[in-house]
Amino acid sequence: MTFRHLTLSVSLCLCLCLAACGNREKSSASQSEATTTAAPAKDAPLTAITPHETLPTIIDFNAVWCGPCQRFAPIFEEVAKEYHGKAIFMSVDVDKSSELARMFEVSSIPQLTVLMPDGTVKSAVGFMEKSQFIDFITPYLPK
């Protein structure tokens, strides 16, 4: 299963869980109020992301034409595998999900955003080596 399929599967599962719990979609321009997940079809744009109940969601905002984004992609996938179960990892193409990029105020890419279960958001912009990326996310991971 590719990383892209994994992120789409996670999105779909979150959406189904929300529907089962009776939650309704909300749309907001505020980063801290990003509370719903769309169930995208293959290659469809994401319009919202829901904070997980207990785990942080780590989002890589990128684009196919962005050189630093493409260099960071394998690092992101590697860390996602290593930290499986400690965080939810999602990769978002800003060209396909421009509404979501606006909601998280993405103005430069790559942008790495951590969405905490309580809705707070922490972001960093620019390419990171693996050790820098791990240092960035470690404070937000469950102990």
Per residue in 14-62, pLDDT (tens digit) is 433 333 333 333 333 333 323 223 333 345 555 567 677 889 999 999 9
66 annotated active-site: yes
Q: What is the mean pLDDT of residues 112-128?
A: 95
Does the pLDDT value for residue 94 go beyond 70? yes
User: Between the CA of residue 138 and those of 131, 133, 141, what are the distances in Å?
Assistant: 10, 9, 5
Cα–Cα distance between 46 and 7 in angstroms, integer? 11
Beta carbons of 114 and 32 less than 8 angstroms apart: no
- What is the per-residue burial (b if ≥16 Cβ within 10 Å, else e) of 117-129? eeeebbbeeebbe
Q: What is the CATH number of the domain that holds 90?
A: 3.40.30.10
Nearest-Å Rg of the Cα atoms of the chain is 14
DSSP letter at 87 equals B
Sign of the Cα pseudo-torsion (49, 113, 110, 86, in order)? negative
Please identify which of the residues 13, 17, 21, 69 carries the catalytic annotation: 69
Residue located via tokens 């990326």 = 133
Cα–Cα distance between 132 and 143 in angstroms, integer? 19
Q: What is the residue range of 8's domain? A: 3-26+34-140
pTM, entire model: 0.67
The number of domains in the chain is: 1
